[in-house]
């Protein structure tokens, strides 16, 4: 998932473009302007609708446990190698920024299919009948 950070804090907004949230090799977090493999995270949704984000690039060397994004009680970003997925510091509630809602068309709003003109039918009695791939000889009148 491509996560972007928008600067807001002590009464000021960041004048620049929102930057990408990335993890570092020492477990620290950073912001970057361009997308790199360090900015790639796996989003996991728990059954209580909390979301965790784990780094796709970095893991613990011995155990292989993923590094998670976490925020401590003071609102500071924690090191990824210190955050565990079951702790509250790693649980986030996703906020939808843009929603695209489309109305499903009803059957009355759908355009009718174009009707093709009826085909000309040929009477079968006018055609000579075929037997074994050959035309039948015309019948002679007995009168």
Query: What pLDDT was estimated at residue 10?
Result: 44
Structure tokens at 11: 């009464």
Domains contained in the chain, number: 1
pLDDT at position 7, please? 46
- Predicted local confidence at residue 8, as pLDDT: 46
Range of the domain at 10: 4-90
Residue 18: give its domain's CATH number.
2.80.10.50
CB atoms within 10 A of CB 57: 15
pTM: 0.50
β-strands 134-135, 130-131 pairing: antiparallel
Domain contains 10: yes
Q: What is the pLDDT along the chain (143 residues), one digit of tens a residue?
A: 555 544 444 444 444 455 666 677 766 666 667 777 777 778 888 877 888 888 878 777 777 778 888 888 888 878 777 787 788 888 888 776 676 666 766 666 666 666 666 666 655 555 555 555 565 666 666 55
Decide if 25 is inside a domain.
yes
Query: Does residue 134 belong to any structural domain of this protein?
Result: no
**Rounded to whole angstroms, how far apart are CA atoms 69 and 90?**
6
* Beta carbons of 120 and 79 less than 8 angstroms apart: no
Structural contact between residues 23 and 57, judged by C-beta atoms closer than 8 angstroms = yes
Let me know if residue 20 belongs to a domain.
yes
């Amino acid at each position: 998932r491509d996560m972007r950070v928008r600067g807001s804090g002590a009464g000021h907004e960041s004048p620049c473009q929102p930057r990408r949230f990335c993890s570092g090799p020492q477990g620290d977090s950073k912001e970057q302007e361009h997308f790199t493999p360090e900015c790639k995270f796996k989003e996991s949704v728990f059954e209580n609708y909390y979301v965790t984000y784990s780094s796709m690039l970095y893991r613990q060397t011995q155990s292989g446990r993923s590094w998670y994004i976490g925020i401590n009680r003071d609102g500071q970003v924690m090191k990824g190698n210190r955050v565990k997925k079951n702790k509250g510091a790693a649980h986030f509630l996703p906020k939808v920024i843009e929603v695209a809602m489309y109305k499903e068309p009803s059957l009355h709003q759908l355009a009718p299919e174009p009707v093709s003109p009826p085909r000309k039918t040929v009477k079968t009695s006018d055609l000579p009948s075929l037997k074994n791939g050959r035309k039948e000889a015309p019948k002679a009148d007995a009168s």
